[in-house]
Structure 1
Amino acid sequence: MQWLDAQPPDSVVYVALGSEVPLRVELVHELALRLELAGTRFLLALRKPCGVDDSDVLPLGFLEQTHGHGHVAMGWVPQTTILAHAAVGAFLTHCGRNSLVEGLLFGKPLIMLPIVGDQGPNAWSMEGNMVGLQVRRDENDGSFDRHGVTAAVRAVMVEEETRSVFVTNALKMQEIVADRELHERYIDGFIQQLIFHVADGNSDTAAPDPSS
């Protein structure tokens, strides 16, 4: 938290992809390098892949090259405290339900990198509601695009025209999540969206408007 306290408001991308399915070390390396290329401050929370030495988790020289504008935390972090911090301007998430709700509760626009299960539909729903942007995937094997992380981070954090849209809609979603009745209605609508997605095979369907 001391590192976050020293950063300007809305300047940091908080990156956390859950603990249930740790990324392979080569994907961790790719993610780290693309974060560096995006040119924004970042806080990367990592769970070390099994069987990997501490010295091999990140690309060689990564910590030295990103010193000052990047920070890496291994293991557990106080996620809600981080998301509530004024320095955090966006949340790069796997779109697990708990993480998604926590990100929206604090009005953070999302950079989405779903991995398994319902995370994909969760990300499609949020993208349909213009709360953030998914990282592009390789059409052949489904892996995230080499340049997709950099492009998505810059669209949500750096490019003013797109960022303003995502921030505005994230703040609207914050009101929904913070309101218990609206939250329950949104969850009901989200379940219906999933049903439509399965029935129609349409990944672009936006979640129903919970306020209507």
Structure 2
Amino acid sequence: MKKLSIAMMVLAVAAVACTDAPNADQAATAEKQEAAAATGASFAIDTTNSVVEWLGTKPIGQHNGIMKIANGIFSVENGTITAGNFTIDVNTLTDLDLTTETGKEKLEGHLKSPDFFDVAKFPTAKFEITSVEPISNDSLATHKISGNLTLKDSTKNVSFPAKLTIAENAVKAEANFNIDRTQWGLHYGNDKSLGDKFIRPEVNIKLNISANKS
């Protein structure tokens, strides 16, 4: 009976330790498309109050952090975004769940290495809007945004739901979605035979972007 109890405890701990893939909408991925034509007023992205959040998981844990936006602009007409783009400074990639003692710098260095983003060659990533379509009957999103996402030397078009808040002099865009990093050639750790060292291909991205009328 005692052995059975110990076994059940081990199974319970294992179940808690197992981390699922990020819970969010999966972005649809397609080939690169033509950028949307800019019409309407220009809104410059407020890089101080805008951020890209990321989260990656593996069977026994997860890591999350941020990257800063270097610059960007939205075009707004008739109460919606018509076009725009922003550049992400991948050198600012920061992990938020570790400390120096638990490997923060080691993880950040690995993510910036050729195994992942290779920031020495590709210091920035870019997103360029190709279309914005309204969504109805969705409590969390107002529009579907599609755009060309460039990571390293690969560009794919991604579509995801977003919440847009448009005011006379300010714009806020919020989104929460998953991408499959292997679509951009980021294959490191993507072999399930690695067991506990396996890193899921799904990466969760959250966009919190504010912009002000130029």
Q: TM-score, normalised by structure 2?
A: 0.24
Q: TM-score, normalised by structure 1?
A: 0.24
User: Whose Rg is larger?
Assistant: 2
- For CA contacts below 8 A with separation 6 or more, give which structure has more relative contact order: 2
